[in-house]
Amino acid sequence: MFCCPELLEPLRHLVNLTVNPCSEIFHYVCHGWNEKGANTLDVDAAKLTSPFAIMKSTTPNGAGRSLSAIFRSCIRLPTRPLEQEVLQALIDIAPLAPPYGFKEILNLIVALSLKYNVFLPVTIKDLENGYGLLIKPGIPAVMNFPGGNIALEPLFGRFKVVSGLPVTMNEVLATAYNLPKASSSRTTTNGNLSLLETLLRGDSPITFRSILTTVFPFPEETTVVVKSFQAVMDTLSLLTAPNNQPTAMAFVFFDAAAVTYKLMYGLSVTSKMHLVDRCAQSIAHFRLLTFKAITEAVVSKSKDERVLATVSDVKETIISRLSSLGEERDRLLVSKLLGELKTVLPSYAVKTITRTPNISENFVTNQLINEEVQLLYGLSHDTLHRTLLKIMVIAPYFPLVEVEGNYLVITPAVYSFVATTRSEAHFDVLASMGALVADALWQLVLKTDAWSARVNAMLTKLKSCSAKGGGMGLAFPTLSLETVALAARKSDWEKPVLVLDLLKSSLSQVFFMRFVYFTACRRSIFHGTEEAHAKEVVAFVNGTPGFREAFHCRDVVPQENNTCIDGVKALG
């Protein structure tokens, strides 16, 4: 940190900001705002809500670590020593800024980051006044609108404007990517065409690939045509609510872009990791935001108290069944993790619909888990690692959420949090714990008798597909089918359903094969036969340019008495 404010003088030409070198804001930048010393912060976990507050609250001594220490592997700083040192200081102290200095700090950070092409996947938030921003790769953190500066705040599943005026998702994307206003005969309920719909469905010269190029630049020779992934793009078009207002779904777009970027490249999980490293780090950070955004949306929208399960309900149900885990040390480990849930997840009421199949039969192997750890959880900071572990313990088990009239389906997988452990020795106990969590939530949900008849009827029909094959296997676990069935029960497919393995393996081949399987045969699951079901999968894989090359799949050849299970297994 600095001892002399004059060190900032050379930076004045970078920003439209006139500051008196003797002012308190310069003192703040140079020396920090904490009496215990610059770059430190005592944390009251009950008052802090950002992902960084969660991270800080898990440090052994309760003292916060600098953001630069936590995200050092994510930040590429300029090479000039002075600018690098100043920007590093700004990153460290911005979250502690007093209200009157917050906006100036943000402007300076944004100007420096854009000037030097610095990627900052960090959230900076003024907790007292509610301002917030997320600096994402390639996207201006603070954008000027007529009503004021907008601050991207996906932590709460919405976008906030400092002036308090509402902002639509179209305005955010159009400003972030400098896109022209879309024009089409198709309009949303408020008269404006969904920009995402325009981008993804070809009604505009602006392509989805142009957005990916903005966020994650890649060489021209890798144009594995976007048209090959029309199913992915069609699904992503559901990210904007019918009234075109930002919802908890909106921020998923950026993660989905990262997923598609990986798919278009056709990389294996472990090869060419440097090309997607920045993308992977960003996804790891988004996972810290995902659960909070979803729970906030559910709590604010849910009207039926009968289907609400609180954290305490879940915890009590799980602890009562811990005896089935076996050894005492395993029970102690699970109890300890469960005891920390209130630190990670305050007592929100959460609508939960899920069920977990047997992990050993339906999920990936330890080898793939280890590869995913290497790619998605490569952050070196131990505190961040532990926080990811605790969040992943509970986050994957809330797959169905209704937000602004849409249904968001996230297919959960236990190895989302298994992958965050450093030792394979914990695999069994964590897997068992995941099954307990899901089962407890399932029992709480099904206490409502009115749901049981339609749910059981749908699941019976779906399970008939897996009966002949003895289980859905790796390509498409029964869990996903059951989740989809529950979504269909409520919507009857009249409302859009987004299926995205956001909390599982966002960059894995296994994920996309499941995704393709569902996309190709979604309608025939409920309205067709097993034979039609399997043929659609076969036709999709064989008829999609670049699919087999990208994922090293052999041709899927229809076989005699082919069933949906055979079709899925052929993908592997």
Element (DSSP H or E) covering residue 306: none
Tell me how far apart the alpha carbons of residues 3 and 33 are, in angstroms, rounded to a whole number.
Answer: 14
Contact 125, 50 (CB under 8 A): yes
Which DSSP category does 12 fall into? G
Using CA atoms, how far residue 375 sits from 272, 291, 295, in Å, is 11, 21, 27
Tell me how far apart the alpha carbons of residues 101 and 93 are, in angstroms, rounded to a whole number.
Answer: 11
More confident position, 477 or 544: 544
Which residue's entry shows tokens 């909390």? 503
Burial class (CB in 10 A: 0-12, 13-18, 19+), 552: exposed
More confident position, 131 or 547: 547
3-state secondary structure 237-297: HHHCCCCCCCCCCCCHHHHHHHHHHHHHHCCCCCCCHHHHHHHHHHHHHHHHHHHHHHHHH
Burial class (CB in 10 A: 0-12, 13-18, 19+), 442: middle
> Token digits for 232?
């992915």
Q: What is the pLDDT of residues 92-149, one digit of tens each?
A: 444 333 333 344 444 444 444 444 443 333 333 332 232 333 333 223 333 332 233 3
Q: What is the pLDDT of residues 437-473, one digit of tens each?
A: 333 333 333 333 433 443 344 334 333 433 333 222 2
Contact 368, 269 (CB under 8 A): yes
Taking residues 160-164, what's their average pLDDT?
28
Q: What is the pLDDT of residues 4-26, one digit of tens each?
A: 333 333 333 333 223 333 233 22
Query: What's the pLDDT at 535?
Result: 54
Q: What is the pLDDT of residues 65-77, one digit of tens each?
A: 333 332 232 223 3
Element (DSSP H or E) covering residue 229: none
Q: What is the pLDDT of residues 364-418, one digit of tens each?
A: 222 222 222 222 222 222 322 232 222 222 222 222 222 222 222 222 222 222 2
Give the residue among 567, 556, 406, 547 at the shortest CA–CA distance from 475. Answer: 567
More confident position, 28 or 556: 556
Element (DSSP H or E) covering residue 478: helix 478-491
Distant-in-sequence, close-in-space partners of 387: CB < 8 Å, separation ≥ 6: 51, 54, 55, 58, 288, 344
Query: What's the pLDDT at 538?
Result: 53
Count Cα atoms within 13 angstroms, Cβ side, for 300: 14
Tell me how far apart the alpha carbons of residues 533 and 236 are, in angstroms, rounded to a whole number.
Answer: 23
142 pairs with which residues across the strands?
151
User: For the chain, how long is the longest CA-to-CA vector?
Assistant: 82
Give the residue among 135, 59, 145 at the shortest CA–CA distance from 95. Answer: 135
pLDDT at 44 over 50: no
Instruction: Report H helices in 271-365.
Output: 273-301, 311-319, 328-339, 341-344, 359-362
Contact 138, 114 (CB under 8 A): no
Query: What's the pLDDT at 302?
Result: 37
pLDDT at 285 over 50: no
What is the sign of the dihedral through the CA atoms of 523, 352, 333 and 324?
negative
SS3 state of residue 314? helix
Alpha carbon 336 to chain centroid, angstroms = 26
Count Cα atoms within 13 angstroms, Cβ side, for 28: 21
pLDDT at 355 over 50: no
State the average pLDDT for the chain: 33
Burial class (CB in 10 A: 0-12, 13-18, 19+), 55: buried
> Token digits for 397?
């088990």
Q: What is the pLDDT of residues 248-273, one digit of tens each?
A: 222 222 222 233 222 222 333 332 22
What is the per-residue burial (b if ≥16 Cβ within 10 Å, else e) of 313-325? bbbebbbeebeeb
Tell me how far apart the alpha carbons of residues 317 and 437 are, in angstroms, rounded to a whole number.
Answer: 8
Q: What is the pLDDT of residues 307-354, one digit of tens each?
A: 333 333 333 443 443 334 344 444 454 444 444 333 333 222 222 222
More confident position, 301 or 246: 301
pLDDT at 424 over 50: no
Give the residue among 285, 290, 221 at the shortest CA–CA distance from 250. Answer: 290
Give the residue among 341, 452, 450, 325 at the shortest CA–CA distance from 391. Answer: 341
Tell me how far apart the alpha carbons of residues 44 and 367 are, in angstroms, rounded to a whole number.
Answer: 39
Q: What is the pLDDT of residues 174-214, one digit of tens each?
A: 433 333 333 333 333 223 333 333 333 333 333 333 332 22
Tell me how far apart the alpha carbons of residues 517 and 509 are, in angstroms, rounded to a whole number.
Answer: 12
SS3 state of residue 472? coil
